[in-house]
Chain A
Amino acid sequence: MDNRFATAFVIACVLSLISTIYMAASIGTDFWYEYRSPVQENSNESNKNIWNEFDSDEADEKTYSDALFRFNGSMGLWRRCIRTPRNAEEGDSSAERAESSDVITKCMSLSLNEQFMEKFLDPGNHNSGIDLLRTYLWRCQFLLPFVSLGLMCFGALVGLLACICRSLYPTIATGILHLLAGLCTLGAVGCYVAGVELLHQKLELPENVSGEFGWSFCLACVSAPLQFMASALFIWAAHTNRKEYTLVKAYRVA
């Protein structure tokens, strides 16, 4: 009888560990959303301007969004990257074009100020009103993954203390914390999807450009059910173990 509770506890720990790793990986990488762009003309002057303005501090949402659309951009929670073949930067040299086929990547990290900056109804127009929905969606999608990760770490700490105290009953708290972490992860994923859809409504994608969710987003989606499974196992092990202990106590009293 005791063996099964211990087994449930062990499996719950394994699932919690896997989901923690996935959550950390999804936060640390920047492949939440990817754009696939056709090959651009090297001689195009406007493309060079877009490329150069991408990493400038004065770029607004419309400017860097155009860059993402044209140069295979990818967005993360706190960083965005664009990449293009090396030939585009070299200019008109036809000889070097045939030799090098390397991809150049340029990334720009978002500062905390930019993370919590207001979004405008018209992405390019500063004078238009503030879009509260997109602003808060953006903030939530940034904060919730960290909250989820924190809750899981705290739950792990509680579980560790429970093992030190040689009692499985406190793992109910661990289970509840993992349940909350799972809800936070689902919330983050939902906010991200909504934010991207609203952005695409404001700034329509150019022709021949397609966007899709990346593997970081998939990792976040997968870690949520793992957290729910771990939560269920923790609560089951603690609750059933507690119930049997109560029965044993009653039996001794009798």
Chain B
Amino acid sequence: MPRSPGTRLKPAKYIPVATAAALLVGSSTLFFVFTCPWLTRAVSPAIPVYNGIIFLFVLANFSMATFMDPGVFPRADEDEDKEDDFRAPLYKNVDVRGIQVRMKWCATCHFYRPPRCSHCSVCDNCVEDFDHHCPWVNNCIGRRNYRYFFLFLLSLSAHMVGVVAFGLVYVLNHSEGLGATHTTITMAVMCVAGLFFIPVIGLTGFHVVLVTRGRTTNEQVTGKFRGGVNPFTRGCYGNVEHVLCSPLAPRYVVEPPRLPLAARLKPPFFRPELLERAAPLKVKLSDNGLKSSLGHSKSKGSLDRLDEKPLDLGPPLPPKAEASTFISDRQTPRPTSAESTLSVQRTSPPTPAMYKFRPAFPTAPKTPFCGPGEQVPDSLTLGEDSIHSLDFASEPSLDLPDYAPGGLHTAYPPSPPLSAADTFSGALRSLSLKATGRRGGDHMALQPLRSEGAPPTPHRSLFAPHALPNRNGSLSYDSLLNPSSPGGHACPAHPSASMAGYHSPYLHPGVLGDPPRPPPRSFSPVLGPRPREPSPVRYDNLSRTIMASIQERKDREERERLLRSQADSLFGDSGVYDAPSSYSLQQASVLSEGPRGPVLRYGSRDDLVAGPGFGGARNPALQTSMSSLSSAVSRAPRTSSSSLQADLANNNAPGPRPSSGSHRSPARQVPPSPPGTPRSPSYMGPKAVAFIHTDLPEPPPSLAMQRDHPQLKTPPSKLNGQSPGLARLGPAAGPPGPIASPARHTLVKKVSGVGGTTYEISV
């Protein structure tokens, strides 16, 4: 209406109502002004009072008849309309007090009109007990406002009689002064009133007859009950009572649609938030698919990897069946869990992060070897949450126990343990190659500095083992901060981490390194059972990532959101490399045993740490990330201002990072939970022991690292880069092989985790 009144406002449509209002108000007021004063003095003061009261009554009934809803029936909804409109017969008969009354199908409103209901072409609505469309009030006269229309006619007739009569009295008494103002105006008013008196009296009489007979004008004019009996009559007195004294009929149009409108206002605000949170999770899975496919393409060159291809294709099939069983389970979720999910979703939007974290607690102790694999099923469940958002809470608890035995069952029979080890090593090699290549390209300036540090005096070589883990810690720190932290916060933290690793040899942290040595020795007996567990867990991770990639590929085809995909790729970085980053963080925590004091001092920074920690879905990851961040913060003041500025510029270059940080911010609101503390010593022990063993073969890995950096700069060098990997396997084959191999795998993961972020940024 407000946008297009010109098209809807037909001036001719409003002329009758304007004329009626003007004549009614104008004539009455002129009568009161020019005629009543003399009547008050000469005849009686009661005359203006009587006429005034009747005039007010006329105005009130006129207003009610004009602005009241006549009893419009709302049109049928689309759902109601689909079936009836095609197979609806034109007429349907119903019995009213034993008499057949015909109900007609209304093509405009899409329903059978109730008895006495008719469609008004002017108002374009079906009106209950339709009498007629009155142009003088510009409204339909139906069941709800017929009473006021009838009273309007009666009071108007009385008013006109009064005006004409008293005007005549005035004129007769002032016949000698016809030229005076008062007499002239009084005569004009009498003419107008007399002109409309006959039609109004006639109309009033007509409606009196209709009311006494219990009919409507529409029925009378169309001759509906001409031959038969009117089933709606209640007798003369009953009809009059029904018109004047019956309770007001309810209104059908406005009240029902308002309530659902109020309810519907909420969903639009919740949906985009959920979509924004679900999208990055899906893209994480899609990134897994991209990397796995690239790995396969690179492995085509080697015969061993060709053999591995059929093994990789095998595992994804059984998980699909499991997914179908999960869907069936979700269809019948627990009522309590469903209610809790609904209530939580409505009250707090950041529930997905909380629900990721909660089910992890009970499942982890039951299957300790599934710990590293928790992240992948969480991402799968999150991806599926978009489809069944209401069942978010129940999915993780149901998925974790089901995935574990299925994965193990499919992992062992198809491949012997040796082939499994080969598949893990192959995948890790491909990831490490990508990571090292990207990392080298991005940090061209830093490499010469590190190479200069490599050939120092034997005094510095004694601290070389500290340098390596420091670099790894900084790399993992970068991977954590880049995707998750906002731009403003990332600037001071990121440069401090990288520069801390570089400056550590000059600072001579030998004193700091000594304290962590004795505690790991106490955990040495734990080595026995640990090396057996990791191998099947890693294999499960791979199979799950493959399945996730397949699902995400389907999602990509369905949705084409270029802009969001670019932003989500950054989210994918953090998601994909949460596992390796957590491993590196755990190992870095060993070094940070010394600066545990400053951890307490930097309590405010711990809140920032909580965000990425929860993203990893691991409590030990939380603690390790907190410790690493605290150590970096403690080292921050030692770095030079020029290096800080350079790092700030580098960090500011990627624009989409702050947007990704903002998306991550609601997850940070979740505080770290205390139950995570008891797990940390069990996880830290084997890592610390592994670190001690890595200290012994110091010179060979450093030499290998130096050779890898320049060779990986060029694409053909990647093939040559594989040979250093084989060289790494050499020392693993030695007597400390079984113990050293997992340690070196963790080292490789660290590098790959960091490189992955740069790889995705380039994509």
Q: Across chains A and B, which 8 residue pairs bring their CB atoms closest together, nearest first?
A: A218-B33, A2-B1, A254-B264, A10-B14, A7-B138, A14-B21, A167-B2, A222-B29
Cα separation A210 to B637 with both chains bound (whole Å):
102
Q: Which chain B residues lie closer than 8 Å to A112 at the CB level?
A: none
Query: Interface code A162-173, partner B: CB below 8 Å = 1, 0 otherwise?
Result: 010011110000
A-B contact pairs, 15 of them (CB 8 A): A1-B253, A3-B123, A3-B138, A14-B21, A17-B22, A163-B5, A166-B4, A167-B3, A169-B2, A212-B37, A226-B29, A241-B1, A241-B2, A254-B261, A254-B267
Main secondary structure of the interface of A (DSSP, over half): helix
Q: Which residues of B contact A242 (CB under 8 A)?
A: 2
B43 located at the interface, meaning its Cβ lies under 8 Å from any Cβ of chain A in the complex: no
Identify the stretch in A44-52, A131-139, A243-251 within 8 Å (CB) of chain B at 4 or more residues. Answer: A243-251
Query: Is A245 in contact with B2, judged by CB distance below 8 angstroms?
Result: yes
For residue A22, which residue of chain B has the nearest CB?
B29
Q: Is the CB of A11 within 8 A of B4?
A: no
A15 and B18 alpha carbons, distance in the complex (Å): 9
Which residues of B sit under 8 angstroms from A166, Cβ to Cβ? Answer: 2-6
Q: How far is the CA of A167 from the CA of B26 in the complex (A)?
A: 28
Which residues of A lie under 8 Å from residue B34 when comparing CB positions?
215, 218
Chain A nearest Cβ from B183, distance in angstroms:
12
Most buried by B among A5, A168, A215, A251: A215
Smallest CB gap from A7: residue in B: B138
Tell me, yes or no, whether B554 is within 8 Å of chain A by CB. no
- CB neighbours (8 Å) of B17 from chain A are 7, 10-11
Interchain nearest-CB distance for B365 vs A (Å)? 46
Instruction: List chain A residues, Cβ under 8 A from B139.
Output: 3-4, 7
Q: Within residues 181 to 236 of chain A, which ones have a CB less than 8 A from any CB in chain B?
A: 212, 215, 218-219, 222, 226
| Closest CB in chain A relative to B633 CB, distance in Å | 45
Say yes or no for B25: interface residue by CB 8 A criterion: yes
- Interface presence of B561 (CB below 8 A): no
Query: Residues of B within 8 Å of A, CB-based: how many?
Result: 35
**Residues of chain B with a CB closer than 8 A to A3's CB:** 123, 138-139
Does A6 contact B5, Cβ atoms closer than 8 Å? yes
In the complex, which residues of chain A have a beta carbon less than 8 angstroms from the beta carbon of B268?
253-254
Contact B66 A11 (CB under 8 A): yes
User: Do residues A18 and B25 form an inter-chain contact, with CB atoms below 8 A?
Assistant: yes
Docked-complex contact B261 and A14, CB < 8 angstroms: no
Whether A153 is near chain B, meaning CB under 8 Å from some CB there, is no
Which partner residue on chain B sits nearest A169 by CB separation? B2
Instruction: Determine which residue in B34, B67, B268 has the highest number of CB atoms from chain A within 10 A of its CB, and name it.
Output: B67
A247-B258 in contact (CB<8A): yes
Q: Is B1 a contact of A168 with CB atoms below 8 Å?
A: yes
Q: Are B25 and A226 in contact (CB under 8 A)?
A: yes
In chain A, what residue has the closest Cβ to B62?
A: A11
A187 to B4, CA, bound (A): 40
Q: Give the dominant DSSP class at B's interface.
A: helix
**Residue in contact with B67 in the complex, picked from A4, A245, A254, CB distance below 8 Å:** A4
* Interface positions of B from 25 to 63, Cβ below 8 Å from A: 25-26, 29, 32-34, 37
- Using a CB-CB cutoff of 8 Å, which residues 203-237 of chain B contact chain A? none
Give the docked Cα–Cα distance between A18 and B29 (Å): 10
- The verdict on B8 contacting chain A, using a C-beta distance below 8 Å, is yes
Across-interface contacts of A108 in B (CB, < 8 A): none
**A121 in the interface, Cβ–Cβ < 8 Å?**
no
Chain B contacts with A in 590-623, Cβ cutoff 8 A? none
For residue A219, which residues in chain B have a CB less than 8 angstroms away from its CB? 33
A180 proximal to B (CB < 8 A): no
Tell me the residues in window 261-279 of chain B with beta carbons closer than 8 Å to chain A beta carbons.
261, 264-265, 267-268
Interface status of A8 (Cβ within 8 A of chain B): yes
Within 8 A of B (CB), among A106-161: none
Docked complex Cα distance between A28 and B253 (Å): 50
Point out the residues of chain A lying under 8 angstroms from B138, CB to CB.
3, 7, 10
A218 to B267, CA, bound (A): 59
Report the nearest B residue to A223, measured CB to CB: B29
Q: Out of A4, A168, A251, name the residue touching B2 (CB < 8 Å).
A: A168
Q: When chains A and B are docked, how far (Å) is the Cα of A241 from the Cα of B5?
A: 11
Classify chain A: how many residues form its interface, as a range: 35 or more
Instruction: Give chain A nearest CB distance to B375 CB in angstroms.
Output: 37
Q: Choose from A4, A11, A212, A247 the contact partner of B261 (Cβ within 8 Å).
A: A247
Cβ of B181 within 8 Å of any chain A Cβ, yes or no, is yes
Q: How far is the CA of A226 from the CA of B18 in the complex (A)?
A: 15
Query: Least Cβ distance of A62 to chain B in Å?
Result: 29
Q: How far in angstroms is the closest Cβ of chain A from B750?
A: 48
Partner pick for A218 among B9, B32, B253, CB 8 A cutoff: B32
Q: Are B67 and A8 in contact (CB under 8 A)?
A: yes
CB <8 Å contact, A250 and B22 = no
Which residue, of A4, A7, A219, has the highest number of chain B Cβ atoms within 10 A?
A7
CB <8 Å contact, A168 and B5: yes
* Chain A minimum-CB-distance residue to B266: A254
Residues of B within 8 A of A169 (CB): 2
Question: Residue B471 at the A interface, CB < 8 A?
Answer: no
A215 touches B37 (CB 8 A): yes
CB proximity to A under 8 Å, residues B80-96: none
Q: Would you give the shortest CB distance from A211 to chain B, in whole angstroms? A: 13
Residues in A whose Cβ lies below 8 Å from that of B4? 166
How far is A22 from B66 in the complex, measured between Cα atoms in Å? 25
CA distance A219 to B37 in the complex (A): 12
Residues in B neighbouring A2, C-beta threshold 8 A:
1, 8
> B143 within 8 Å of A by Cβ?
no
List the A side residues contacting B267 at CB < 8 Å: 254
Q: Report yes or no: A18 in contact with B258, Cβ–Cβ below 8 A.
A: no
Q: Give the shortest distance, in Å, between A5 (CB) and chain B (any CB).
A: 7
Residues in A with CB closer than 8 Å to B123 are: 3
With contacts A3-B138, A226-B25, A247-B258 known, is A10 near B18, CB below 8 A?
A: yes
A61 nearest CB across to chain B (Å): 27
User: Could you tell me the distance in whole angstroms from the C-beta of B259 to the nearest C-beta in chain A?
Assistant: 12
Q: Answer whether residue B434 sits at the interface, using C-beta atoms and an 8 A cutoff.
A: no
A241 to B67, CA, bound (A): 13
A222-B67 contact given A15-B25, A254-B267, CB 8 Å threshold: no
* Cα A1 to Cα B140 with chains together (Å): 12
Among B1, B6, B25, B181, which residue has its beta carbon within 8 angstroms of that of A14? B25
B-contact 0/1 string along A2-37, CB 8 Å cutoff: 111111101101110110001000000000000000
Complex Cα spacing A98 to B139, Å: 63
Which B-chain residue is minimally distant from A6 (CB atoms)? B9
- Write the chain B residue with the least CB distance to A11: B21
B7 (CB) vs chain A CBs: closest residue:
A166
**CB-nearest residue of chain A relative to B36?**
A218
Q: Which of A4, A15, A169 has the most CB of B within 10 A?
A: A4
Collect the chain A residues with CB atoms within 8 Å of residue B18's CB: 10-11, 13-14
Does B182 have its Cβ within 8 Å of any Cβ on chain A? Answer: yes
Interface centre among B21, B182, B268 (most CB of A within 10 A): B21
Q: Are A251 and B264 in contact (CB under 8 A)?
A: yes
| Residues 243-268 (chain B) with a chain A CB within 8 angstroms | 253, 258, 261, 264-265, 267-268
Which residues from chain A contact B25 at a C-beta distance below 8 Å?
A: 14-15, 18, 226
Query: Nearest residue in B to A218 (C-beta to C-beta)?
Result: B33
Flag if A18 contacts B181 (CB, 8 Å): no
On chain A, the residues within 8 Å of B37 by CB distance are: 212, 215, 218
Contact partners of A218 in chain B: CB under 8 A: 32-34, 37
Cα separation A18 to B32 with both chains bound (whole Å)? 14
The answer for the CA separation of A167 and B5 in the assembled complex, in Å, is 7
Given A6-B14, A215-B33, A254-B268, 7 new contacts (CB under 8 A)? A10-B17, A11-B17, A18-B22, A18-B26, A167-B2, A218-B32, A222-B32
B137 (CB) vs chain A CBs: closest residue: A7
Q: Is the CB of B67 within 8 A of A7?
A: yes
Contact partner, B181, options A10, A215, A251, Cβ 8 Å:
A215
- Shortest A119–chain B CB gap in Å is 29
B638 to chain A, nearest CB (A): 54
Residue numbers in A under 8 Å from B32 (CB-CB): 218, 222
A162–B25 Cα distance when bound, in Å, is: 25
A215–B5 alpha-carbon span in the complex (Å): 40
Of listed A17, A166, A250, A253, residue having the most chain B CB within 10 A = A166
